[in-house]
Every structure is written in structure tokens, then in C-alpha cells.
């Protein structure tokens, strides 16, 4: 099912529409195979308990394995992980990483933006661009800061990934 998320419509669809682009939302639980850029995927943010923080290893949520189902112009997120580290005065640093696999027949430039959502509102985010060669994969990673309260309060935050492929 392709649809424009309400948050996207409110926060930036005008820019996408004026550029002649319409984002497609990959809805977890559906098995639609292919999307065109830009693709938006909303998933869980699984590190909401302080006992999960400050770990050396990368951690993934139960539904993060499903990200590999969604293909955006032949780019697939095959691995996804996150870490949270405490800073001073109630702040935390969130780090995200992914492996992007190019299953197409030409090199691609991929820009992926990660946004932390609280009650549907973007509270933090970051973006990075990588080149993914034909038939190969590349690592992607970003980091941003937020507060402990945003991660631990109810309802839990969500993570929105926007994939743009050139």
C-alpha cells in the first residue's frame, strides 16, 4: 500500500510536490516489493530503557529485520543497528548504522535521513549520503542528540527513515 503519511504532508510535502516528487511509504507488515525514491519507512525505536544504553554492541529492534523487504530503486536496507550513550545533564547521543545493498545494474548515490518521532513530531534527526556500487553494499551511519526523557517516556518514540536514490 502506497500512501503519503500525514506527518510528511504537514512537514514537507509541499517541497516534494513542487519538485514533482511524491514520497511512498513502506508500511511494515505489507509485502510490496518495490518503491520509487523517495521511500519513507517508519519503524520502532527499540532502545527506550536505560539498561540498554552504553553498550558496546549494536542493537536492533524485533521489526528491524523486516526493513530488508522494502526495495527503493534497487536499494535495500539489509542490516540495521543502533546505540544510545548517556551524555551530561539528561542528554543522550543516538547512533544509527545500516548496510545498503544495491541490487540493480548501476552505481547509485543514496541519501538516507533518520528522524526520531515523538507523538508524530520530529524531535531529532540526521542525514548522510553514500555511494553504493552496482551489485555491492555500503555502510551508512548517522548520530544525533536528544534527551533521556524523549526516549523513556510513554508512548515510545518511533524512527522514520527516508531513502532518496539518484
21 CB-near residues (< 8 Å, 6+ apart): 37, 38
pLDDT at 30: 58
Residues of the chain with pLDDT under 50: 1-22
DSSP state of 117: E
Closest to 44 in 3D by CA, of 156, 128, 144: 156
Kindly report the average pLDDT of the chain as a whole number.
85
| Contact assessment for residue 125 and residue 116, using Cβ atoms and an 8 Å cutoff | yes
The string of pLDDT tens digits covering residues 37-85 is 999 999 999 999 999 999 999 999 988 988 998 899 999 999 999 999 9
SS3 47: coil
- pTM to 2 decimals? 0.82
Amino acid at each position: 500500500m502506497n500512501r503519503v503519511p500525514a506527518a510528511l504532508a504537514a512537514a514537507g510535502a509541499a517541497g516534494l510536490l513542487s519538485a514533482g516528487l511524491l514520497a511512498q511509504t513502506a508500511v511494515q507488515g505489507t509485502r510490496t516489493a518495490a518503491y520509487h525514491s523517495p521511500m519513507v519507512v517508519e519503524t520502532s525505536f527499540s532502545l527506550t530503557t536505560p539498561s540498554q544504553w552504553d553498550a558496546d554492541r549494536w542493537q536492533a529492534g524485533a521489526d528491524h529485520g523486516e526493513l530488508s523487504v522494502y526495495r527503493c530503486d534497487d536499494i535495500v536496507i539489509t542490516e540495521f543497528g543502533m546505540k544510545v550513550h548517556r551524555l551530561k545533564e539528561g542528554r543522550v547521543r543516538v547512533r544509527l548504522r545500516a548496510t545498503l545493498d544495491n541490487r540493480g545494474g548501476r552505481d547509485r548515490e543514496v541519501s538516507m535521513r533518520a528522524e526520531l518521532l515523538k507523538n508524530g513530531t520530529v524531535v531529532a534527526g540526521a542525514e548522510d549520503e553514500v555511494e553504493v556500487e552496482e551489485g555491492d553494499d555500503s555502510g551508512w551511519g548517522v548520530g544525533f542528540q536528544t534527551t533521556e526523557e524523549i526516549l523513556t517516556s510513554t508512548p515510545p518514540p518511533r524512527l522514520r527513515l527516508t531513502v532518496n536514490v539518484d
